[in-house]
A and B are shown apart, each in its own frame.
Chain A
Amino acid sequence: MRLRKRLASIGLNVIAWLLSLVVLIPFVVIVLNSFKSDAEAKVLKLTLPEKFIFENYKIVYEQGHLGGSFFNSLLHSGASSLLLVFVVAFSAFTLSRNHSRLSKFLYFFLILGITLPLNYIPLMEVMKSMGMINSHLGMILLYTAMGIPISLFITYAFVSNIPKELDEAAIMDGCNGIKLFLRIIVPLLTSVLVTVFVLNFLSIWNEFTAPLYMLNTVEMWPMTLAVYNFFGQFSAQWNLVSADIVLTSLPVLIVFLIGQKYIVGGLTSGAVKG
């Protein structure tokens, strides 16, 4: 019995590592490539560079406007994900608890957004009429709106799982709407809200069509467009493009690493409480 468990455990570990390796290899290739010289990097290979050329990163940073665009990406992704969490938490709470027909209708109306394809041309016209073209505020509000349908869908499901008895107990203790929300509901929703934040942060960070249409000046561009601009000028130089990819991906990886801990923390504490 013990041996069986041991073998099963080892087997699982091996499978886990194999799968991780499959996922990992393309990344390793890119990172290795980012240090290679022009000639070495013509084709992506899993070989060590002859010499580690760190200048590639310097070139990419300077030519690719990475300093400013990093700030833009951070601003857009961070602010809109935060705003989204606020907006979605409040909405999911009331829409799922209040069983009126209006609430049900509003919920389905908002969820419909998951299926709505984004047509950039009318969107540009609408944003222009609001004076939001080429503005940070415009992008943040747009991204928040884009994230609402799916985030609301996920959060709503989790809120529904919180037993209503908790609400009733709190109300009997004298809580009104907002107190109930902040004291009782939000703490239980932490893991979902962090997940929503992280997932939206990632998808907005990688968004490139929206900024391509809505932002006109290079100063406003996020990192994805800077990569694009860069790739436009240096397309055949895979070593530089790889360095660009590494620099653009690092921030999000870090956000995910940090967010991970909270997701785990929130979830395990929830499981312990039962």
Chain B
Amino acid sequence: MNANKIYPWYFSSGAIVLYLLFIVAPALLGIYYSFTDWNSYSSEKNFIGLEHFRTILAGDPTYLLFIKNTVLFTLVTSIAKTILGLFLALLLVSGVKAANLHRMIIFSPQVLSFLIVGLVFKSLLDPNNGFVNVTLRSMGLDVLAQNWLGSLTWAMPSIMAVDTWKGMGYIMVLFIAGLLAIPRDYYEAASIDGAGFGQKLFRITIPMLMPTITIATVLNITYGLRVFDAVYVLTNGGPGNATDVINTAVYSSFAKGYWGLGSALSTILFVIMAIISFFIIRLMNRKVEY
């Protein structure tokens, strides 16, 4: 049985062609631009080598702040979405009434674009008239009413909370698919052997879910590192630079017309993400083959 006849490589040709044209070509061009002084003020593109990279990696505290924020955002939202997604999936698969309805409701924020979500939450979180604070005050909980998007302590947590609200449904759906693929016989056999909920969870469910958990983790991490909409729409990196992440810095570089510098930042982000993803995928391949 000739593997190449049965699984011919040309089946993938469609994907490869599209990918090369629309993703790889622009990316290579972008990387090339990182080495030029290209900007919106002149049409020349002069090669300047590693100068942009030197500027960025010279240890300027603002750049370090972006990186710190990006990492913080990624870690917190990945963990939150995974735990909440799993919890919700378990809840809905365990025979709760109207599970379909709940699944639909919890997933639905995914349906909206962040532009819309941002507009809505900016209004809801307004410290003076926003729904959240008004409700807290009407319940006598004035103390809890904060300047959610405008204070140094609460801006980042607020962004992370809104992003989790929006994103947990997606992860939940993935986990539901994964959970439903676990054969019931395993659970029945375990029950007969006298296993309790905790044992079932940790001995059967989670090991069987490893592929799904890995997918969810990769998706969460790549989303977190590349996050832009959430931060831009809610606070635009404010107050000051407190919530700026790498991609908002890239965007403001581009917006100012510093296209070479922006491309360089983008390239650095790509390298970081490629390295991290490579390690995660390597880990996954090992785990699945047991």
Contact = CB atoms under 8 A, between A and B. Distances in A.
A191 B173 CA distance: 12
A118 B222 CA distance: 13
B285 to A, nearest CB: 10
A146 B170 contact: no
Given A106-B9, A111-B281, A271-B181, A98 B22 contact: no
Contacts of B131: 25, 29, 44-46
Nearest to A113: B23
Nearest to A206: B113
B104 A256 contact: yes
A181 B116 CA distance: 41
Contact of B94 (A12, A86, A100, A122): A12
Interface stretch (B73-81, B236-244, B268-276): B268-276
Nearest to B254: A121
Contacts of B108: 23, 27, 253, 256
Interface in A234-274: 238, 241, 245, 248-249, 252-253, 256-257, 260, 263-264, 267-268, 270-271, 274
Given A153-B218, A195-B173, A252 B4 contact: no
B42 interface: no
A226 B94 CA distance: 42
A166 interface: no
B107 interface: yes
Contacts of A126: 21-22, 25-26, 29
Chain A's interface size range is 35 or more
Contacts of A91: 11-12, 14-16
B153 interface: no
Interface stretch (B47-55, B121-129, B188-196): B121-129
A157 B177 contact: no
Nearest to B288: A160
A195 B136 CA distance: 39
A114 B218 contact: yes
B23 A248 contact: no
B226 interface: yes
Nearest to B120: A26
Nearest to A122: B29
Interface in A175-200: 176-177, 180-181, 191-192, 195, 199
B33 to A, nearest CB: 7
A202 B167 CA distance: 13
A87 B11 CA distance: 8
A154 B21 contact: no
A119 interface: yes
Contacts of A167: 6
A260 B103 CA distance: 9
A268 B98 CA distance: 17
A180 B115 contact: no
Contacts of B180: 267-268, 270-271
Contacts of A123: 22, 26
Nearest to A267: B180
A117 B31 CA distance: 11
Interface of B: 1, 3-9, 11-12, 14-16, 18-19, 21-27, 29-30, 33, 88, 91-92, 94-116, 119-121, 123-124, 126, 129-131, 134-135, 165, 169-170, 173, 176-177, 180-185, 211, 215, 218-219, 222, 226, 247, 250, 254, 259, 263, 266, 269-270, 273-274, 277, 281, 288
In the A-B complex, list the 5 residue pairs whose CB atoms are closest, starting with the nearest: A206-B113, A122-B29, A145-B22, A98-B7, A119-B30
9 contacts: A24-B105, A26-B121, A43-B126, A103-B9, A113-B19, A123-B22, A181-B11, A206-B111, A257-B104
Interface of A: 9, 12-13, 15-17, 19-20, 22-27, 29-30, 43-46, 86-88, 90-91, 93-95, 97-100, 102-103, 106, 108, 110-119, 121-123, 125-127, 130, 141-142, 144-146, 148-150, 152-154, 157, 160-161, 167-168, 171, 176-177, 180-181, 191-192, 195, 199, 202, 206-208, 224, 227-228, 231, 238, 241, 245, 248-249, 252-253, 256-257, 260, 263-264, 267-268, 270-271, 274
Given A23-B106, A94-B8, 19 more contacts: A16-B96, A20-B101, A30-B120, A45-B134, A86-B14, A98-B3, A98-B4, A121-B254, A122-B26, A126-B26, A141-B18, A145-B21, A152-B15, A161-B181, A161-B211, A195-B173, A195-B177, A249-B116, A267-B181
